[in-house]
A and B are shown apart, each in its own frame.
Chain A
Amino acid sequence: MTWDLFHQQVFPIRHKLYRFALRITGSVHEAEDVVQEVMEKVWKTAPAQTENVQNWEAWCMTLTRNRSLDKTRSQTLRRTSPLEVEVDRKSDTVTPAQATEGNDLIAHVKLMMQQLPEKQKLVMHLRDIEELSYDEIAAALQISLDQVKVNLHRARKAIRKKMIND
């Protein structure tokens, strides 16, 4: 990885990677760690390995997703995780109490998006928040184009249904 390549392709998308990591981990601290680790990994990757990379954003997104999932899995497996971390994790994302409080509908929508099934949540995030094309989403999540469309459709339908019901 060369300095120029890193600064042109990887560094500018750090906020995207952070939002994606935050979507999966639900923790600001863990998302920060994930981005840091992904950046480091990309930087240390041998040039021969990066030759085949067509879409840097999608490649980095995949790395971010894998690293974030590893983190959340290790978090759930670790039964002896300190209490503060648990409290912290909850405070970063919107709690149900916060969402229903008054008429904070925006927070409520955020919570609904966070509560979607994993694949739907990630597809919707990459499409509606990061504005990626279907092809890019398929590449980042390593799923088929049809899978992208189906999951996006289901995610939006679920949100709409909840919004109408509430």
Chain B
Amino acid sequence: MKYEEVQEILDRYWEGETTLEEERRIKAYFNGGQIDARLSHIGPMFQAIREEQSLQLVTKAKAARIRPRRYLWAIAASLALLLTAGWWMFRAADTTIQTAANTIDESSQSIKIQKVVEKPPSSLAIEAQPAQNTLSIKRKASRKRVKTTPFIDSETAMAMAEIKAALALVSSKLYAGRNEAIKGATYLERMEKIPKRKTG
């Protein structure tokens, strides 16, 4: 664009009589780089307009929305990890209890059997004296006892085992606690003795 042409449009621009097309042309001219020296003082005006035109809304909402999701994934992953770890530990503990319960179950069963096996002869000996006909009935009863008692269902056995384990734990703790208490008591006794010695 020639200087005269630009100047002509500019004159009308200041008066507010230019079309949008003419305004776009002079904007392009002033932002094109080759500005006539006589018009250089107008340059900043159109450069300012161009800068203002390039202003854009920066959507922060998107960035803000992504972050919590990332955290959520991390939380979900760590929770899953914790849950699986917990499950493994629980399972391991469960199996040990079960094996313990099984051994106890077996041993208790054998004890019960032994006891029951032992009993019949003595009862027989007692019963044998009063009458012979009652013997058969008692025998049947004892037989029944032999058959029924050893079969403790696994649930009760497990419960028993658990109670035993719990009691053992409590007793061991009690023992440790008692030891600590004794230690503390002796320590206090000693502490009491020291000033007595000094004063005495």
Residues in chain A within 8 A of chain B (CB atoms): 14-15, 17-19, 22, 31-32, 35, 105-110, 113, 125, 127-129, 131, 133, 149, 152-153, 156-157, 159-160, 163-164
Contact = CB atoms under 8 A, between A and B. Distances in A.
Chain A binding surface SS class: helix
Contact of B55 (A15, A127, A160, A163): A15
Nearest to A104: B44
B57 A157 contact: no
Contacts of B48: 106-107, 109-110, 113
Contacts, number: 61
Contacts of A108: 44
B23 interface: yes
Given A18-B57, A106-B44, A149 B16 contact: yes
Given A19-B55, A32-B57, A109-B44, A160 B49 contact: no
Given A109-B45, A110-B51, A110-B52, A32 B14 contact: no
B62 interface: no
B42 interface: yes
Interface in B18-58: 20, 23-24, 41-45, 47-49, 51-53, 55-57
Which range contains the number of B residues in contact with the other chain?
20 to 34
Contacts of A32: 57, 60
A129 B45 contact: no
B61 to A, nearest CB: 8
Interface string B123-137: 000000000000000
B53 A129 contact: yes
A13 B45 CA distance: 24
A99 to B, nearest CB: 11
A105 B44 contact: yes
Contacts of A127: 23
B175 interface: no
B13 interface: yes
A129 B23 CA distance: 11
B72 to A, nearest CB: 24
B5 interface: no
Contacts of A17: 57
Given A128-B49, A129-B53, A159-B45, 18 more contacts: A15-B56, A15-B57, A18-B56, A19-B52, A35-B57, A106-B48, A106-B51, A107-B48, A109-B44, A109-B47, A110-B51, A110-B52, A125-B52, A153-B15, A156-B16, A160-B14, A163-B42, A163-B44
Chain A CB within 10 Å — which of B24, B43, B48, B53 has the most?
B48
